[in-house]
Structure 1
Amino acid sequence: MQTPSAAYSYLTPEALTTFIRTALAEDVGDGDHSALASIPADARNRAQLLVKGEGLLAGMALAPLIFKEVDASLVFTPLLADGDLVKHGDIAFTVEGPARSILTAERLVLNCMQRMSGIATYTAHLNTLIAGTSAKLLDTRKTTPNFRICEKWAVLIGGGVNHRYGLFDMIILKDNHVDYSGGIAQAIAATHDYLEKTGRRLPIEIETRSLDEVQQALDAGGIDRIMLDNMSPDQLREAVALIAGRFPTEASGGITEKTIAEVARTGVDYISVGALTHSVKSLDLSLKAY
């Protein structure tokens, strides 16, 4: 499995710190009054992360950052790593130090790791279904607001490929852009004019809904990828043959684990699946004192 690092543009220390601080502010507010009320200030304890399901572990690189933000004196000991296959009864890490701090960090660590592990697990599963083809699995912008950084990270851990991170780092001219601008050629021409005027260099992808629109995109040129939206496997094969390697292709729209293998066999270069981040089941994890 692919293990991400700060080399990925969105996984910067600054971005992760901002995410953690915002999430803690949402949860802790003016204090963890449950811990403050019931636990002596000088109490020290330890806890371990217990795996209660089966899947792919994710969030192991994030968890110590959360604990450190809550209390730099907490001692985090990893026993497993991002991308490890886990089963019920496995212990992912231990943490030791001020008991109040462990309790304050507990829920954020669990919320992140459970969902990230669910995404990584499902991503890995879909990758097994397209093994043996040249297609690469992409995520989408169908993410949870303010949690995208973790969801995109989890896709990487599961062996998927990140599509654009947001609206700012790639241009995708989708159906509404095309319709609002008057057509595919007009949308592409206006985009090039905008990039020239603003001095930006961004990759351009155009969404097509039919073979006729694919031909329009080919005629217009000036693009970096063609999206083939909601096409049947037969239509995808025709589109791939029509494009003939001139541009990378991306199949998109309603692709499920029941259909993804057939889609991959049509010869498309990429398959984008929104369900990677919007419809996954979290992996059951629990932080327990011991």
Structure 2
Amino acid sequence: MIPAGSLLHPDAFLSPLVIDEAVRRALDEDLGRAGDVTSLVTIPPDAQAHAVLVARQAGVIAGLPLAVATFKALAPDVVIHAHAHDGAAVAAGINLLTISGPARAVLSGERTALNYVGRLSGIATLTANYVRHTAGTKMRICCTRKTTPGLRALEKYAVRCGGGFNHRFGLDDAVLIKDNHIAVAGGVRPVLERARARIGHLVKIEIEVDTLDQLREVLDTGLADAVLLDNMDIATLKQAVAMANGRVALEASGGVTESTIAAIAATGVDYASSGALTHSAPNFDVALDIDV
């Protein structure tokens, strides 16, 4: 058995405040003003239930702390035993949690718990599939800001559970100069000079380029920490790596899929970012089986 308090991925922090707020929001949405009227009118108040949270497919697990918090929010005295932790690779049919407690609470929390574990495990599993294709290279696979509104911290945590890395969390934690910024600011050099003059010494600057000529211009300024290579083909990515020669970190973006990630990693870029990790991950098949 694994203590319920040790379910988080050992190397991926997720604030307990984020967990509690996400669970409260989801339960408020599901229970509404009248509560679980089905369970209230069909289940005696003193009925007890024993349930098992089961993985119906093989993959990488994420979201178990949210499942635990869901049931605990509805019945603080519920007893939960964990058989896996976030970040664990599991086979189909593996029991993840056993839950014993008031039947009404177990039934009322079922969908919220399954929604979180299914969504986050789907992201972790897809990320692990991407990461597997980068074996033997230095490249790190990263997520983006293409997340479900309100769930960014959870979905980025799930990426880390799958072995991926996080890009910036929001607009406030790094400078990422895109093509529209360059256009409005009047060019590559002006936008970099303006940014470098105004940021704090701990803030990184990344700039997006579409061509090798733009990359050369960025390198000539010496003002960027990283360069995002937008929608470049494999041959161009290789040329970019040779041109940069380690002077800046290089990130491939656009067209980063499971079918292309291995070739991208082999070019020598440092990072590849893919919005698909969070916006297109299939839901992980997980179920709650009740044994009264």
- TM-score scaled by structure 1? 0.92
In structure 2, what is the Cα distance between the partners aligned to 1:27 and 1:222?
Answer: 50
Residue matched to 1:175? 179
Among 45, 52, 72, which residue is 1:48 paired with?
52
Structure 1 residue 5, shift from structure 2 partner? 5.3
Contact kept in structure 1, 2:49 and 2:290, CA below 8 Å? yes
| Unmatched segments (≥5 aa) in structure 1 | none
RMSD over aligned CA atoms reads: 1.7
Deviation sequence 1:57-94 (CA, Å, 0-9, x none): 22223321222222211111101222222233221111
1:218-233 to structure 2, matched below 5 A, reads 218-233=219-234
Among 123, 126, 141, which residue is 2:130 paired with?
126
Gap change, CA 1:7 and 1:263, over 3 Å in 2: closer
Contact kept in structure 2, 1:129 and 1:261, CA below 8 Å? yes
| Unmatched segments (≥5 aa) in structure 2 | 1-7
Among 162, 186, 192, which residue is 1:158 paired with?
162
Aligned to 2:176, what secondary structure does the other structure show?
strand
Contact kept in structure 2, 1:240 and 1:266, CA below 8 Å? yes
Deviation sequence 1:154-212 (CA, Å, 0-9, x none): 111111111111111111111222222222222222223442xxx68421111111101
Among 6, 9, 21, which residue is 1:4 paired with?
9
Residue matched to 2:3? none
The code of the aligned residue for 1:171 comes to V
Aligned to 1:133, what secondary structure does the other structure show?
coil
Deviation sequence 1:228-257 (CA, Å, 0-9, x none): 110011111111111110111101101111
The code of the aligned residue for 2:120 comes to M
Equivalent pairs, count: 283
Gap change, CA 1:6 and 1:237, over 3 Å in 2: closer
Contact kept in structure 1, 2:55 and 2:92, CA below 8 Å? yes
1:25 matched to 2:28? yes
Aligned to 2:207, what secondary structure does the other structure show?
strand
Among 41, 58, 61, which residue is 2:62 paired with?
58
Contact kept in structure 1, 2:78 and 2:100, CA below 8 Å? yes
Structure 1 residue 7, shift from structure 2 partner? 6.6
Aligned to 2:252, what secondary structure does the other structure show?
strand
The code of the aligned residue for 1:119 comes to I
1:13 matched to 2:16? yes
Aligned to 1:267, what secondary structure does the other structure show?
coil
Residue matched to 1:98? 102
The code of the aligned residue for 2:187 comes to G
Between the two proteins, what is the percent identity of the paired residues?
Answer: 43
Gap change, CA 1:186 and 1:26, over 3 Å in 2: farther
Contact kept in structure 2, 1:6 and 1:12, CA below 8 Å? no
Residue matched to 1:205? 206
- TM-score scaled by structure 2? 0.91
Structure 1 residue 139, shift from structure 2 partner? 0.7
Contact kept in structure 2, 1:112 and 1:150, CA below 8 Å? no
Q: Which moved more, 1:82-91 or 1:45-54?
A: 82-91
Residue matched to 2:267? 266
Contact kept in structure 2, 1:6 and 1:13, CA below 8 Å? no
1:85 matched to 2:86? no
Contact kept in structure 2, 1:51 and 1:286, CA below 8 Å? yes
